Amino acid sequence: MREIIWEPYGDYKERANIKRFMDKHGIRDYDELISRSVNDIEWFWEEALKDLGVEWYRHYDKILDTALGFPWAKWFIGGKLNIVHNCLDRHIKSGKGAKIAIIWEGDDGATRKVSYSELYRDVNRVASALKGLGIGKGDRIGIYMPMVPEIVVALYSCLKIGAVAVPVFSGFGPKALATRLDDAEAKVLFTSDVAKRKGTTIEIKKSADEAGEMVKTLRHKIVFRRGGGNAPWDPDSDIWWDDLTARGGDECKTEELDAEDHSLIIYTSGTTGKPKGTVHTHAGCLAQMSKEIGYYFDLKATDIFFWFTDIGWMMGPWEIIGVQHFGGTYVIFEGVPNYPAPDRLWQLIERHKVSILGISPTAIRLLMSLGDRWIDGHDLGSLRILGSTGEPWDIKSYMWYFEKVGGKRCPIINISGGTEIVGCLLSPLPITALKPCTLRGPGLGMDIDVFNDEGKPVRGGIGHLVCKKPAPSMTRGFLKDPERYIDTYFSRWPGVWYHGDWAKVDEDGFWFLYGRSDDTIKIAGKRVGPAEIESSLMEHPAVSEAAAIGIPHEIKGEAIICFVVVKSGIESTDQLKEELKAKVGASLGKSLKPEDIKFVRALPKTRSAKIVRGAIRKKYLGQEVGDLSSVENPDAIEEIGMAI
């Protein structure tokens, strides 16, 4: 199914923000837009940031410096700015203080709205109090909190004074937290007495305390009262959030920072090896995030933006900074999409009139598996744009998202990039036609290609996704590990960013992804991505979720093993197992028929809903699994071990 399913119409076609940019520069169509933006990236970034309204304290002297090569490119040389000025201060000065910045909904259904003026006041108080603790430019501050509005205050308070924010998923245990804080040499940690999830109270302060004992640089823990405030306490280092804000003043100067000054250190969530600290700048984050929210997701003043995410995933800061750059409104959600009832997400969209929704394919597969009755009857008419990222789609789930959630009205802006870019390599635009599962083409200003094994461009076949020119938001190496950075992205083809994804450009110029190249399975010389196998399995009406791995085979090189979660009420029988094997064989060819199907209750995933195939494979083969700190449900890994 690769026909066009959506064409831009009405306001998508005539009033899209990217249309304004195109008209300003006499650009006639999508192909010309992409061509101009990637052939002359310096022209594009200069004109885009003007159009998007990025404000500088001092304008830059030079856009791009590649004297040290692509891997160490520097941007906007001589320029001075601050994310907080663009995302908060200027909106207050322009009289937008009464506008709602944040709509919060808690796990227990509680709601709260925070205006720009309230956010400005609280950021100033916390920022000035941090300075009173001796914290300043370049100091690293961890953020280990549930998804409450104060997480935004913590983020902006760091950035305002030139400190570097280190957001960490609040579901991590002490060791995972300590590893990140210690690597970053954090001096302060924002945390909470408890977190709430699926009706359960989680005492994250205890985890913060255990982690703190392993981090020699940590001086203070600032504790927000999410529960009753009954947390273990060290009066020498712990400070209640309320007490801290009482110390702060209502005004705190926003630091005028160099464009290349660091803003965020975000750790990648791989399942093996030491987490990699990706390092991002004020100008880089602002450029990429405002471009994507403004052009890809077409944010308008009236929109309510909601991406189902956590602060520890790059989509958290991406949403906060990108939406607030334009003075917009976004939803922060503490809970999960199917608690306390399977229609929780649809209730939230209806209640808050969400107009732009972002969610992972795995989350959609979960909601789809619960049955249409939970979405039927909810008014989702406020939606005008759907978003997704995190992994390849299967057609069945994509079409359910398009038809049931978006009513066939809304484009799916299916983006893909990564933490190391805090943005996208590939993305559709609201002015582009869509095929199922497509990412349409290169992001604006992103010189993306698909290479074969010899490093030559390939069309019509699956190859390696690469980037041939730098972008402002690309990580400035890995923290304390420049060699690993070069080895990861530039060792295969020097001067070319090797992203590690399989991609394909079809005969019509539409781009598709097929998963990570390190997940690739090679059967008797034929290479196949797990997403293709999983997509075939998902087409069977009994299947809720699936994961495919390759295991050693003495004749074929590798054989395919699939782990399948069946829908509620479906029995896991030998007959079903044979049906699923036959289904894959019929779809992909007999040589790619799975060696075996294993039925499991759940697939192990990260908090951002990525299936951890690498960990599944190692567990199945009896190997050391490695760091599982990013896995939300490690018990599912143990079930894999028992499925042998």
Note the pLDDT of residue 644.
Answer: 61
Q: pTM for the whole thing?
A: 0.89
pLDDT at 608: 64
The C-alpha angle 52, 53, 55, rounded to 5 degrees, equals: 135
The whole-number pLDDT of residue 7 equals 98
Query: What is each CA distance from 290 to 33, 96, 116, 284, 537, in whole angstroms?
Result: 18, 19, 18, 10, 38
Q: Which domains, ranges and CATH numbers included, belong to the chain?
A: 1-78+441-516 (2.30.38.10), 112-258 (3.40.50.980), 520-642 (3.30.300.30)
Question: Measured between alpha carbons, how far is 116 from 119 in angstroms, rounded to an integer?
Answer: 5
Helices of type H across 430-481? none
| Whole-angstrom distance, CA of residue 226 vs CA of residue 421 | 32
Contact yes or no for 267/278 (Cβ under 8 A): yes
Residues 6+ apart with CB under 8 A from 83: 156, 159, 263, 282, 285, 286, 321
Q: What is the pLDDT of residue 630?
A: 74
Q: Mean pLDDT per segment of 10 residues, for the chain of length 644 residues?
A: 91 98 98 98 98 98 98 98 98 98 97 98 98 98 97 98 96 88 98 95 95 97 94 96 95 97 88 80 98 98 96 94 98 95 98 97 89 96 95 91 98 96 98 98 98 95 96 98 96 96 95 84 76 87 93 86 94 95 86 92 82 89 82 88 74
> Three-state DSSP class for 560?
strand
Distances (CA, A) of 159 to 96, 128, 163, 164, 216: 21, 12, 6, 6, 23
Q: Which of 448, 444, 421 is nearest to 51 (CA)?
A: 444
d(CA 392, CA 438) in angstroms, rounded, equals 9
Q: 61-73: string of b/e by CB count within 10 Å (b at 16+)? A: eebbeeeeebbeb
Q: Where are the alpha helices (DSSP H) in 213-328?
A: 241-247, 282-291, 315-325
Q: Which residues of 588-602 are buried (b: 16+ CB within 10 A; e: fewer)?
A: beeebbbeebbbbee
Burial class from Cβ neighbours inside 10 Å (0-12, 13-18, 19+) for residue 461 reads: exposed
| Strand ranges in 359-506 using DSSP code E only, listed in sequence order | 385-388, 412-414, 416-418, 423-426, 448-451, 463-467, 497-505
244, with CB counted inside 10 A (0-12, 13-18, 19+), is buried
User: What pLDDT was estimated at residue 351?
Assistant: 98
